[in-house]
Amino acid sequence: MDFFNYQGDTLFAEDVAVNQLAEQYGTPLYVYSRATLERHYRAYDEALAGQPHLICYAVKANSNLAVLNVLARLGAGFDIVSVGELERVLTAGGDPSKVIFSGVGKQAHEMRRALQVGIKCFNVESEAELDRLNDVAESMGLQASVSLRVNPDVDAQTHPYISTGLKENKFGISIERAEAVYLKAAGLPNLKVEGVDCHIGSQLTQSAPFLDALDRLLDLIAKLAEQGIHIKHLDLGGGLGVRYDDETPPEPSEYATKVLERLGDSDLMLIMEPGRSIAANAGILVTRVEYLKPTEAKDFAIVDAAMNDLLRPSLYSAWQNIIPVVQPGADAKTSNYDLVGPICETGDFIGKDRELALMQGDLLAVRSAGAYGFAMSSNYNSRNRAAEVMVDGEQSFLVRRRETFEQQIAGETVLPA
């Protein structure tokens, strides 16, 4: 459920008309709904109320400071994959003791900063990383809390680019090796083994792969206990899918409830790292039709958003719903459009084969754009990055100014004369 609905013929974000936002802030424009973010976070939090738990929002999905701040105010933890994400969390008022550090390539300076601010745990992805973390912690006279990211070898049945829990993926430590690596970790003096972690992929639309992974991790935790290694928390990663089209993923509450059933009366702290299921449907991308270009083969609508603003359609052939900001009259003639951006690439499209009634200057909203939207944007074709707005009831706040050309080139210089 989200808070982007029509009132009459006009799309609203909570209580603000989206066409007014486009007038005020320009396009392309990301619009987020605070109420939707909060609702999605609470769905997890309430479902897990009976179990010690921590919901670590995956910052990579949408790292705007206002988004992080809204979640921090609700008591969220954060899953980070770089020191940049850590600094964002701190700047947004997040609690470092609720931060989990994931990712296969952590550098020593990133570890140092995370130890300095006292994060909750490192999700370690290789034996070499264990050694480096132990060295860094030793040099600071500290102990680092660790989980191993275990690769449980389950098929997440999602797009291959976002499936991460199979043997052939670069992520994690294979479940067969896990016990041996845990023993190694337990023997390193500057590490404290605290948890077991996995993340099997993204945009999963069924609970079964999560539950398979959970069963394997619970077996591992039992085996570790026999070896004298007592695990305090179990991190199931993120990955719960959302509805872009006709998918029917379980609701966060349904998924969380199934996980709790499996845990029984265990007092393990349960950690989850949801990104998409919190942010995706809390955002839209508003774009304006620049030109209509009917050709013999196709009708194109050239819009002012492009693959640099929203990469998912180009990169994953992802389908996102595209709806008019103001609905046309019932007798308006529709055509089958490819909605394409101004970038000089054939792969620059936002949507293909959409039956819409369009005129030059019309506004469109790309739905489900709150996750992996702005976060994956770039300056390709020297386009300034879009503005971001957060709506809260009847109010709207500019939470990132539209980039200017001066900002775009700020770090660049030419060679001396």
Q: List interacting residues with ligand LLP (CB under 6 A).
A: 58, 61, 79, 102, 162, 199, 202-203, 237-240, 273-277, 312, 316, 371-372
Residue 182 marked in a binding site? no
Contacts 24+ apart (CB under 8 A), 93-96: 93/68, 93/69, 94/68, 96/120
**202 SS3 class:** coil
Compare residues 104 and 326 and give the one whose CB is closer to ligand LLP: 104
Residue 228 marked in a binding site? no
CA distance 290 to 300: 11
Residue 372 marked in a binding site? yes
Q: Least distance to ligand LLP from the beta carbon of 107, Å?
A: 17
* Residues noted as catalytic: 344
Q: Least distance to ligand LLP from the beta carbon of 270, Å?
A: 14
The CA angle 69-73-78, to the nearest 5 degrees, is 65
Residue 328 marked in a binding site? no
Compare residues 53 and 199 and give the one whose CB is closer to ligand LLP: 199
Q: Least distance to ligand LLP from the beta carbon of 228, Å?
A: 28
Residue 141 marked in a binding site? no
Residue 44 marked in a binding site? no
**264 SS3 class:** coil
Residue 276 marked in a binding site? yes
Compare residues 202 and 396 and give the one whose CB is closer to ligand LLP: 202
Q: Least distance to ligand LLP from the beta carbon of 158, Å?
A: 9
Which residue type does 295 have?
Answer: T
* DSSP bridge pairs for 197: 149, 235
CA distance 325 to 285: 11
CA distance 200 to 213: 8
Note if the bond before 328 is cis, omega within 30 degrees. no
Compare residues 235 and 362 and give the one whose CB is closer to ligand LLP: 235
**196 SS3 class:** strand
Compare residues 185 and 198 and give the one whose CB is closer to ligand LLP: 198
Q: Least distance to ligand LLP from the beta carbon of 256, Å?
A: 13
**144 SS3 class:** strand
- Note the helical H segments in 187-251: 208-226
> Using an 8 Å Cβ cutoff, are 203 and 239 in contact?
yes
Place of tokens 């349904």: 254
Residue 261 marked in a binding site? no
Which residues neighbour 18 within 8 Å (Cβ) at sequence distance 6 or greater? 4, 10, 11, 12, 31, 284, 286, 325, 363, 365
Burial of 171 (0-12, 13-18, 19+ CB in 10 A): buried
Q: Least distance to ligand LLP from the beta carbon of 259, Å?
A: 14
Compare residues 312 and 354 and give the one whose CB is closer to ligand LLP: 312
Q: Which residue, 103, 8, 98, 82, is CA-closest to 45?
A: 98
Q: Which residues are annotated as a binding site?
A: 239, 273-276, 312, 316, 345, 372
Q: Which residues are annotated as a binding site for substrate?
A: 276, 312, 316, 345, 372
Q: Which residues are annotated as a binding site for pyridoxal 5'-phosphate?
A: 239, 273-276, 372
